[in-house]
């Protein structure tokens, strides 16, 4: 399968066109606000008192906690100190989230793809380590262009050709986190069924497995297969993405749904999905045995 005509033009148009301001807060900014609200409530501090600490109107604190307004690092330090937080690693991580950032590569897709696509890319960019569990598809960060296109071609209701190519281009650019000078450490748990699915036909599937094998030899990329013989496994086959931050309190779980990505970060939710990953580490094939199985399935195509 050859790349769709105009793919290069689509990428060039996305990269050079004007990007309107984002009207909704990103997940990362909303997460910072949620952490500040949790701390304030645990400390028993009112929004009025918090606002007085940093010389703001009372109404601005709810906006900050909703992610709709930014907060300077100095004001953030003042708030968390008065909330009684003494975990310096956690505070430094929050300060990192509060710093004004340069535009990320994903911003070029603003108003062209749903905000959830941008949030996933930003989450990946800032992650200290990533884990994914996939039962049907090869993980997105390891997909070839033709394989990704075959998946988006089957979305119902049917997507326009422009929407498909934008999604493909975005998915390919996400892979920069694995190729940059300091790549993210990545572990992908892939069910054997996903290896045998022939999205796009035999040749596309074979090319995808060949690339998966090649990528799995990188020091920072680990691929482990859940063999069909294993039988049941936790998660009921739902795709799972777990992003570790510099401190465990800021970890995030992302689940796919029919209405877009769902982001979870409650303490009990993180414990639940960490236990899923622990199960995977104990019950999947070793990286070497996984690579052998991937090669064997590829030779069958």
Question: At 227, which CATH number?
Answer: 3.30.870
> What is the tens place of the pLDDT at every residue in 30-46?
999 999 999 999 999 99
Which structural domain, as residue segments, surrounds residue 61? 27-98
- Residues 133, 52 share a domain: no
The confidence band for 146, taking pLDDT boundaries of 50, 70 and 90, is very high
Within its chain, how far is the Cα of 174 from the centroid? 9
Check whether 1 has a pLDDT greater than 50. Answer: no
CATH code at position 43: 1.10.260.40
- Any domain includes 5: no
Q: What is the pLDDT, as a whole number, of residue 7? A: 57
- Residues 129, 204 share a domain: yes
At 79, list the tokens.
């708030």
Are 104 and 122 a contacting pair, CB within 8 Å? yes
Q: What is the pLDDT, as a whole number, of residue 11? A: 59
The confidence band for 99, taking pLDDT boundaries of 50, 70 and 90, is confident
Q: What is the pLDDT, as a whole number, of residue 288? A: 98
Check whether 5 has a pLDDT greater than 60. Answer: no
- Any domain includes 16: no
- Residues 192, 55 share a domain: no
- Any domain includes 61: yes
Check whether 10 has a pLDDT greater than 70. Answer: no
Which among 98, 119, 146 is the end of a domain? 98
- Residues 140, 285 share a domain: yes
CA distances (Å), 129 to each of 220, 242, 271, in order? 10, 8, 16
Between 206 and 23, name the one with better pLDDT.
Answer: 206
At 211, list the tokens.
């690339």
- Any domain includes 279: yes
- Residues 35, 135 share a domain: no
Are 43 and 70 a contacting pair, CB within 8 Å? no
- Residues 220, 137 share a domain: yes
- Residues 212, 282 share a domain: yes
Q: What is the pLDDT, as a whole number, of residue 8? A: 64
- Residues 93, 171 share a domain: no
Region 114-129: mean pLDDT is: 97
- Any domain includes 130: yes
Check whether 78 has a pLDDT greater than 50. Answer: yes
- Residues 198, 281 share a domain: yes
- Residues 63, 130 share a domain: no
Within its chain, how far is the Cα of 64 from the centroid? 23
**Percent of the chain residues topping a pLDDT of 90:** 87
Which among 48, 69, 98 is the end of a domain? 98
Q: What is the pLDDT, as a whole number, of residue 2? A: 45
pTM, entire model: 0.91
> What is the tens place of the pLDDT at every residue in 231-288?
999 987 889 999 999 999 999 999 998 788 999 999 999 999 999 999 999 999 999 9
- Residues 192, 52 share a domain: no
- Any domain includes 35: yes
Which among 98, 130, 161 is the end of a domain? 98
- Residues 160, 44 share a domain: no
- Any domain includes 13: no
Check whether 123 has a pLDDT greater than 60. Answer: yes
Question: What's the total number of domains in the chain?
Answer: 2
- Any domain includes 87: yes
CA atoms within 13 A on the CB side of 234: 14
């Amino acid at each position: 399968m050859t790349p769709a005509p105009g793919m290069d033009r689509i990428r060039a148009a996305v990269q050079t066109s004007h990007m309107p301001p984002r009207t909704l807060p990103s997940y990362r900014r909303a997460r910072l606000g949620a952490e500040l609200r949790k701390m304030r409530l645990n400390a028993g501090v009112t929004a009025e008192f918090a606002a007085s600490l940093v010389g703001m109107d009372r109404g601005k604190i709810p906006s900050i906690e909703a992610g709709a307004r930014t907060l300077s690092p100095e004001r953030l330090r003042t708030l968390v100190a008065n909330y009684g937080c003494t975990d310096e690693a956690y505070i430094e991580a929050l300060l990192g989230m509060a710093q004004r950032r340069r535009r990320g590569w994903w911003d070029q897709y603003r108003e062209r793809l749903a905000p959830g696509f941008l949030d996933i890319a930003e989450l990946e960019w800032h992650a200290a380590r990533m884990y994914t569990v996939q039962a049907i598809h090869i993980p997105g960060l390891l997909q070839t262009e033709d394989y990704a296109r075959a998946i988006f071609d089957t979305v119902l209701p049917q997507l326009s050709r422009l929407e498909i190519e934008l999604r493909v281009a975005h998915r390919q650019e996400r892979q920069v986190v694995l190729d940059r000078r300091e790549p993210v450490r990545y572990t992908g748990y892939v069910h054997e069924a996903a290896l045998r699915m022939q999205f796009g036909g035999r040749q596309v599937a074979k090319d995808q497995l060949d690339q998966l094998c090649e990528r799995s030899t990188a020091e920072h990329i680990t691929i482990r297969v859940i063999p069909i013989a294993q039988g049941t496994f936790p998660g009921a086959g739902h795709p799972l993405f777990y992003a570790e931050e510099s401190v465990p309190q800021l970890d995030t779980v992302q689940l796919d749904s029919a209405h877009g990505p769902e982001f979870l970060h409650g303490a009990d939710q993180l414990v639940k999905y960490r236990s899923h990953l622990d199960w995977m580490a104990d019950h999947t094939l070793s990286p070497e045995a996984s690579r052998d199985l991937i090669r064997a399935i590829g030779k069958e195509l």
